[in-house]
Amino acid sequence: MRRIRANAIVLLTVAWILGMLYYLWHDSRPYPKQGSSSSSSGRNVQKPIRLESSREDRTVVQVVTKAPWLDDHKLKAFDEQAYLARKQLNPGADPYGNHAFNQQESDKLASDRPIRDTRHYRCASVQYNKDFLSTSIIITFHNEARSTLLRTVKSILNRSPPSLVQEIILVDDFSTDPEDCQLLTKIPKIKCLRNTRREGLIRSRVKGADAATAEVLTFLDSHCEVNKDWLQPLLQRVHEDYTRVVSPIIDVISLDNFAYLAASADLRGGFDWSLHFKWEQMPIQQKMARTDPTQSIRTPVIAGGIFVMNKSWFNHLGKYDTQMDIWGGENFELSFRVWMCGGSLEIVPCSRVGHVFRKRHPYDFPEGNALTYIKNTKRTVEVWMDDYKQYYYEARPSALGKAYGNIAERVDLRRRLRCNSFQWYLQNVYPELRIPEKEVSERAVVRQGEKCLEAQDLHRVVSIIASLRPCKGLQSNLLFSQEWVLSGPLIKHQDKCLALTNFSLGSQVILDLCNPQDGRQKWKIKGSSIMQLVTGACLDSQVETEKDRVGTTSCQPDLASQQWELLQVT
């Protein structure tokens, strides 16, 4: 019996290994390009391709087929092979040189390659309305790789309900070769607009939006691939409330090998005071409130490359600031304007779109990348951030004095729309953005009663004693040894800083050579107390050490020996 059982286990193991080897061999085969298979009758047949992906212990099978309304006879006027062949990478050329991604890998892939369905499994069972308004999809580009641009277009046509796509408007921002765009108009629903000079993404998008005939606008970048059922969830949210501006979860397409990688579903858009966009985790309260993973995610800002918006609402809010140049900062301006003027921003988890994230810009900026970004963000902060703009300039001092053009029209727009203040935005939309603690850098005397903090034995090189001595005045007769400079977390006397001797309670306080990285030297003025940032203890004049020496003990706000008065020296 044991031998039979052992033989059965061996046979099952061998069968499992053979099955896995077959699966890996089958999965690793390259997908055929369009038109590479045909039936025995001579007609091209598009066979469904089944992709399996496991999510949360459930397997979802995605069938990727050619859209039924995009049959070969409708595409016969478009010669895909010739279109791509004219812009193939020359042998030996740098595959990253023209587009800042691996063009060679992009050119190898089929224009309608299948990709994994990266949505949460519950998204497959969500029901959507049948009476959506159709959308105009606007894609702007400048010298985009043909294989990438075509794959963007084909993914839209293959994975979108035909009734929901009114048109795809390609705005060619003065590319070197006009045929990059013009030849694609042979594909159904494709329209091409061409700028007569380089305008940049912002003005190009406005041009596309003005030409759009649908009541809903969808903006996409030119190096994307939309995923299964990507459009319906976005249109549903806008259909329910026209003031919503919605974005998908943006998956990652590798710039090196074009692998399609799922992005986290727990992220939202954020930024710091220099107006640097970043992806950040949702606050814990927001996570706890989301009982359904298909629920939309409120976001303070959107990345800006991919979003859906009602056209009338887009126009009402002032479109884009067309005095901004090329690229950069427009997503902040739009995000602030939407929130502060009565709308909202959301990320919709059941919509997934892949995007090639590049490490550099493959095109030139007329005034340079840095200056263009500064100009655009300065226009944003000067119109929308009120007095909080000071934190932008503190975080980005290089912006001081830089030109940003005339903003009178945008200021008037804000007034006419009766938009909320930036303080309202911080309180109601992005309370997690902390106001920077003001770094005090001023001369002061640290007094307690009739005594002042004094640096003794200044002739010593290190470990100068800090103690209390009778105050000597605040003006011209000020005793030099009682003058301190408060600079951020440091309490300085010349090149020496107030420091702990160790990190234990009751530690004496001395002066050591200033070192901003030394935790012993970091203090915070908290009301009338002076707290040590590492230990959390407070400066105290009555520790059990020598008379009048100061040290640290547990903070007790009502304790007289921990009450200090900072008197500014003028």
With respect to residue 274, please indicate whether it lies within any of the assigned structural domains.
Answer: yes
Q: Which two tokens stand for residue 344?
A: 């909202």
pLDDT at 34 over 90: no
DSSP-derived secondary structure letter, 387: G
> How many residues in total does the chain contain?
570
Residues 221 and 336 in one domain: yes
Neighbours of 81 (CB within 10 A): 10
* 189 to 117, 163, 184, 192, 224: CA distances (angstroms): 25, 11, 10, 10, 18
With respect to residue 345, please indicate whether it lies within any of the assigned structural domains.
Answer: yes
- pLDDT given at position 93: 94
pLDDT digits 0-9 by tens, 500-522? 988 888 788 988 888 888 899 99
- The pTM for the full model equals 0.69
Of 336, 356, 376, the one marking the end of a domain is: 356
pLDDT at 24 over 50: no
Neighbours of 406 (CB within 10 A): 9
With respect to residue 25, please indicate whether it lies within any of the assigned structural domains.
Answer: no
CB contact at 8 A, 215 and 312: yes
Residues 454 and 309 in one domain: no
Residues 446 and 350 in one domain: no
pLDDT at 18 over 80: no
Residues 345 and 464 in one domain: no
Higher pLDDT, 138 or 9: 138
Residues 137 and 251 in one domain: yes
CB contact at 8 A, 133 and 218: no
Residues 350 and 469 in one domain: no
pLDDT at 21 over 80: no
Residue linked to tokens 């044991």: 2
Residues 348 and 487 in one domain: no
Name which of 41-45, 143-147, 350-354, 489-493 the model is least confident about. 41-45
Q: Which two tokens stand for residue 310?
A: 């009602």
CB contact at 8 A, 193 and 212: no
- pLDDT given at position 52: 40
Cβ neighbours of residue 419 under 8 Å, at least 6 residues apart?
337, 340, 341, 342
- pLDDT given at position 9: 66
Residues 352 and 445 in one domain: no
CB contact at 8 A, 366 and 321: no
With respect to residue 183, please indicate whether it lies within any of the assigned structural domains.
Answer: yes
With respect to residue 82, please indicate whether it lies within any of the assigned structural domains.
Answer: no
CB contact at 8 A, 464 and 508: no
pLDDT at 11 over 90: no
CA 428 to chain centroid: 20
With respect to residue 319, please indicate whether it lies within any of the assigned structural domains.
Answer: yes
State the DSSP H helix or E strand holding residue 150, giving kind and residue range, or none if neither: helix 146-159
Cβ neighbours of residue 401 under 8 Å, at least 6 residues apart?
none
- Residue 460: which CATH number? 2.80.10.50
In 3D, which of 485, 480, 452, 449 has the Cα closest to residue 466?
Answer: 452
pLDDT at 244 over 60: yes
- Highest-scoring range by mean pLDDT, 38-52, 133-147, 549-563: 133-147
Tally of structural domains, the chain: 2
Residue type, 384: W
CA–CA distance, 169 with 159 (Å, rounded to integer): 17
CA–CA distance, 440 with 288 (Å, rounded to integer): 38
With respect to residue 471, please indicate whether it lies within any of the assigned structural domains.
Answer: yes
- pLDDT given at position 379: 97
CA–CA distance, 76 with 78 (Å, rounded to integer): 5
Cβ neighbours of residue 7 under 8 Å, at least 6 residues apart?
none
- What range does the domain containing 281 cover? 96-112+119-356
Q: By CB neighbour count within 10 A (0-12 exposed, 13-18 middle, 19+ buried), where does 529 fall?
A: middle
* 411 to 139, 311, 319, 381, 388: CA distances (angstroms): 29, 22, 14, 11, 16
Q: Where are the alpha helices (DSSP H) in 160-222?
A: 179-182, 201-211
Q: Which two tokens stand for residue 224?
A: 């994307």
Query: Phi first, then psi: what are they for 310, rounded to 5°?
Result: -60, 135
Of 315, 336, 356, the one marking the end of a domain is: 356
pLDDT at 116 over 80: yes
Residue type, 93: A
Residues 337 and 449 in one domain: no
Name which of 232-236, 259-263, 395-399 the model is least confident about. 395-399
Of 356, 388, 403, the one marking the end of a domain is: 356
The secondary structure of 196-241 as a DSSP string is SS--BHHHHHHHHHHH--SSEEEEE-SSEEE-TT-HHHHHHHHHH-
What value does the CA radius of gyration of the chain take, rounded to a whole number of Å? Answer: 32
**Arithmetic mean of pLDDT over the chain:** 85
Residues 336 and 213 in one domain: yes
- pLDDT given at position 541: 87
With respect to residue 501, please indicate whether it lies within any of the assigned structural domains.
Answer: yes
Residues 100 and 217 in one domain: yes
Q: CA neighbours within 13 Å on the CB side: how many for 109?
A: 27
- pLDDT given at position 516: 84
pLDDT digits 0-9 by tens, 301-321? 999 999 999 999 999 999 999
Q: What is the mean pLDDT of residues 454-467?
A: 71
Pairing of strands 344-356, 244-253: parallel
- Residue 281: which CATH number? 3.90.550.10
Q: Which two tokens stand for residue 176?
A: 């070197």
